[in-house]
Amino acid sequence: MPIHDAIIIGAGHNGLACALHLASRGWRTLVLEQATTPGGAVKTAEVTVPGFRHDLYAMNLSMFAGSAFHAEHGERLARHGLAFVPAARPFASVYGDGSTWLGLEQGLAATLARIASVSPRDAEAWQALDARFEREAPHLFGLMGAPLPSWAAARLLWRMGRALGLAGMADIARLLLSSPRDWLTENFESDAVRCLLAPWGLHLDFAPDVAGGALFPYLEAMAGQRFGMALGQGGADVIIRAMVAALGEAGGELKTGVSVRRIEVSSGRAQAVETTDGQRLEARRAIIANVHPRALYGPLLGAAAPANSARAGKLRPGPATMMIHLALDALPNWRAGAELQTFAYVHLAPSLDHIAQVYNQALAGLLPAEPVLVVGQPTAFDPSRAPAGKHVLWVQARVLPATPQGDAAGQIAAAPWDEIKEIYAERVLDMLERHAPGLRQSILGRCVLSPADLERDNPNLVGGDSLSGSHHLDQFFIFRPAFGRSRWRTGIDRLFHIGASTWPGAGTGAASGYLLGHDLT
């Protein structure tokens, strides 16, 4: 049995990015994945009707397209089929009673014109924010892509201070601490703009009143308007297929259907992994876990877990998510406006109060009476994912309880997700039908993935938490997954930890895998 330089546990995009980087530097690299398909939370499959390709989880690849990993390895990946489809109209929101909407599109002038139609004052505020983004973006994105804490981050902060001055730094600090509602109401007067941006907090677990959430609507708004959204050509899994092929070319290996059950540690050093099918595989230089810290510092390390790893092992999940995939005869006939068919995401988010209420219902264990919906329309941009003239719809219900204890609408009895997922999906379809009359009639097939299904496919999505851990301030920056564990170190020699549970968190930016790979070579 050959001894590998590095064994990576988990073929999420971070694990694969790390493996590819190491293999490209000559390391003998092996990736072990428990599922039969690599990709973790980035997978595409025909789960409704043959010929309809659905992004089961992530659909928006903007983070990957803009990542440092892609900047370095993009050419190699392109040779293995990686291609993006640009979406110049990244997102819109239907708000209020469902008859009004506002969208954002690439290009300042176009977005300003849309915003001015609801509030000239908000258009001015938007323009000022765009100018602010121009000054801040290189620093903010630099920091979001740097190891924390590190001299590199300290240097970035120093440069940021010199460029922005004390007042500029104070502005950034306020932004990082603000809740979405405080930031949105401070900057915009119209419900339209507030509802356009607030759902981006809930793509993570920042309801309007959670401190620290303002950053995400700000970055998505400004980046979306400058760069649009990137989708994967043919499906989001194009990044996974390209990484797997490039890994093979670089001499690395991926084994699927192989689950790691234990990491062997002796003399304070990680030596080997044991798989559930009884193999013992040694690594000479590194074992890299792309897994949830509850698993790493729990069953995988067992008694070998360092005494001070208890906090990391308790990383709190965010609320759960459900995915509903539809094969459709036609795009939704949006009641609020036919032009909505031309946006990648349509958020159904009536008001900030509604979003706040949904979040509180989910935290209280209740099925929300009407969840916030993210409705993805990938075939509006990439028709190759469905037969000619047909479409797929990607519907995400945010946010839900991991274990339902009741129903805020008083209609569905508390039961495990496997028993009620189809019933709850009917509620979501009713909402869609109200916003897009005739939708039900155009459904050719559907697939509902409950929070329990998400975790079954990928144990990193604990309780159906799409984020692999809440991103609230006490679990972000230097606290992800715990203070002292934020630089992908575990306290055990040669054992490293990457993935959405580590800094810089969830999303398809491949940062933890790439930065660790960089660090090691």
Segment interacting with ligand FAD, rule: CB under 6 A, options 57-65, 111-119, 188-196, 474-482:
57-65
Are the CB atoms for 142 and 508 separated by under 8 Å? Answer: no
Each residue 416-455 as x (binds ligand FAD by CB under 6 A) or -, in order, gives --------------------------------------x-
Any contact of residue 30 with ligand FAD (CB under 6 A)? Answer: no
Number of other residues whose CB lies within 10 A of the CB of residue 59: 25
219 counts as binding ligand FAD under rule CB under 6 A: no
Burial class for 105, CB neighbours closer than 10 Å (0-12, 13-18, 19+): buried
Q: Does the protein bind ligand FAD through residue 33 (CB under 6 A)?
A: yes
Between 182 and 274, whose beta carbon lies closer to ligand FAD?
274
Amino acid 259 reads: S
198 touches 208 (CB < 8 A): yes
Convert 338-368 to b/e letters by CB count within 10 Å (16 or more is b).
Answer: eebbbbbbbbbbbebebbbbbbebbeeebbb
Taking CB under 6 A as the rule, does residue 290 contact ligand FAD? yes
Cα separation of 245 and 477, whole Å? Answer: 33
CA distance 462 to 325: 21
3-class DSSP assignment, residue 254 = strand
**Contacts with ligand FAD, 165-204, as mask; x by CB under 6 A:** ----------------------------------------
Nearer to ligand FAD, 179 or 460 (CB): 460
Is residue 42 a contact point for ligand FAD (CB under 6 A)?
A: yes
**Judged by CB, which is closer to ligand FAD: 41, or 356?**
41
Burial class (CB in 10 A: 0-12, 13-18, 19+), 256: middle
Q: Does 87 bind ligand FAD (CB under 6 A)?
A: no
Q: Closer to ligand FAD at the Cβ: 66 or 306?
A: 66
Q: Should residue 47 be labelled a site residue for ligand FAD when binding is judged by CB under 6 A?
A: no
Interaction pattern, residues 246-275, with ligand FAD; x per rule: CB under 6 A: -------------xx---------------
- Binding letters toward ligand FAD, positions 303-342, x by CB under 6 A: ------------------x-x-------------------
Among 6, 7, 14, 44, binds ligand FAD (CB under 6 A): 14
CA–CA separation, 74 and 256 (whole Å): 24
How far apart are CB 520 and ligand FAD at their closest, in Å? 17
| Closer CB to ligand FAD, 135 or 456, in the complex | 456
How far is the C-alpha of 493 from the C-alpha of 456, rounded, in Å? 31
Interface with ligand FAD includes 347 (CB under 6 A)? no
Distance separating the N- and C-terminal Cα atoms of the chain = 24
Interface with ligand FAD (CB under 6 A), residue from 4, 507, 517, 520? 507
Q: Does 63 bind ligand FAD (CB under 6 A)?
A: yes
Q: 3-state SS string over 21-39?
A: HHHHCCCCEEEEECCCCCE
Return the residue of 93, 379, 450, 458 that touches ligand FAD, per CB under 6 A.
Answer: 458
**DSSP SS3 for 111:** helix
From CA 11, how far away is CA 111, in angstroms rounded? 38
Nearest CB to ligand FAD, comparing residues 41 and 340: 41
Q: Which amino acid is present at 380?
A: A
Q: What share of the chain is helix, strand, coil (3-state, %, to 5)?
A: 45, 20, 35
CA-wise closest residue to 198 among 212, 178, 218:
218
Interface positions, 365-404, toward ligand FAD (CB under 6 A): 396
By CB atoms closer than 10 A (0-12, 13-18, 19+), residue 25 is middle
Out of 450, 466, 486, 490, point to the residue binding ligand FAD (CB under 6 A). 466
Copy the structure tokens of residue 406. Answer: 């009741």
Size of the site for ligand FAD (CB under 6 A): 39
Task: Pull the structure tokens for residue 240.
Answer: 């996974």
Residue 361 interacting with ligand FAD (CB under 6 A) = no
Amino acid at 267: S
Applying CB under 6 A, the span of 30-38, 108-116, 177-185, 223-231 interacting with ligand FAD comes to 30-38
What is the closest distance, in whole angstroms, from the C-beta atom of residue 262 to ligand FAD in the complex?
9
Strand-pairing partners, residue 395, are 324, 375
Positions touching ligand FAD (CB under 6 A) are 9-15, 32-35, 40-42, 57-60, 63, 259-260, 290-291, 295, 321, 323, 396, 454, 458-461, 466, 468, 499-500, 506-508
